[in-house]
Amino acid sequence: MTDQPQPPEDDVPAKPTSASRTTLSHIMTGNDTNLLGTVHGGVIMKLVDDAAGAVAGRHSGGPAVTASMDEMVFLEPVRVGDLVHVRAQVNWTGRSSMEVGVRVMAERWNESTPAQQVGSAYLVFAAVDGEGKPRRVPQVTPETERDKRRYQEAQIRRTHRLARRRAIKELRERRTAEGIGD
């Protein structure tokens, strides 16, 4: 612990997207396969969550927990022996939440062909303090045109998530008021 005064929450300095961007790489083995002999989607999802969690923790400067995973897309199967690269970055920040975009690439471990994209996902993380309460995160500063596009797309996804959540809540309340249970 330090005795130096901490800046007020509103003075948390912004961070550029490059400050927390990371790549996690893993070679797929027979332990990772499903009944079809390809890598189980859950294994890829765990790698996605691990990489996104590292990025969220780096950006927020402390613990961050997965709040949701949107649009997990599997484009191609991953095989035993593939070297998988999971690239993640913060796309957007709110007060205590962050959207992390993840791209999953795979290449054969014994070939010199370029990696191809095999999946992508968007995850929302909430920064938490030692008691599990939300804490303020630095705003992300998009650096490139691609970062700016991702930031804008993340705002659209957030609007849709909130609208969907609100519509479901209203439907449930209406059904409860009408005496219709689960």
What are the strands of the beta sheet with 116-127, ordered from one edge? 22-27, 82-93, 97-108, 116-127, 64-74
Gap between the Cα atoms of 29 and 41, Å rounded: 14
Mean of the per-residue pLDDT values for the chain?
Answer: 92
- Give the pLDDT of residue 8: 45
- Give the pLDDT of residue 10: 58
Gap between the Cα atoms of 106 and 87, Å rounded: 11
Encoded tokens for 105: 């690439």
Tell me the average pLDDT across 6-27.
Answer: 82
| Phi then psi dihedrals of residue 160, to 5 deg | -65, -40
| Phi then psi dihedrals of residue 89, to 5 deg | -155, 155
pLDDT band at 5 (very low <50, low <70, confident <90, very high): very low
Of the candidate ranges 20-24, 44-48, 67-71, 101-105, the one whose mean pLDDT is the lowest: 67-71
Helix (H) or strand (E) holding 7: none
Please say if the pLDDT value at position 3 is more than 70.
no
pLDDT in tens, 60-109: 999 999 999 988 999 999 999 999 999 999 999 999 999 999 999 999 98
Tell me the average pLDDT across 18-25.
Answer: 96
Encoded tokens for 141: 């500063």
Please say if the pLDDT value at position 112 is more than 60.
yes
- Give the pLDDT of residue 182: 64
- Give the pLDDT of residue 133: 96
pLDDT in tens, 139-162: 999 999 999 999 999 999 999 999
Residues 6+ apart with CB under 8 A from 132: none
- Give residue 124's Cα distance to chain centre: 5
Tell me the average pLDDT across 27-35.
Answer: 95
With CA atoms as reference, report the closest residue to 115 among 20, 48, 27. Answer: 27
Tell me the average pLDDT across 37-55.
Answer: 97
Matching residue, tokens 């005496």: 179
- Give the pLDDT of residue 141: 96
pTM for the model stands at 0.87
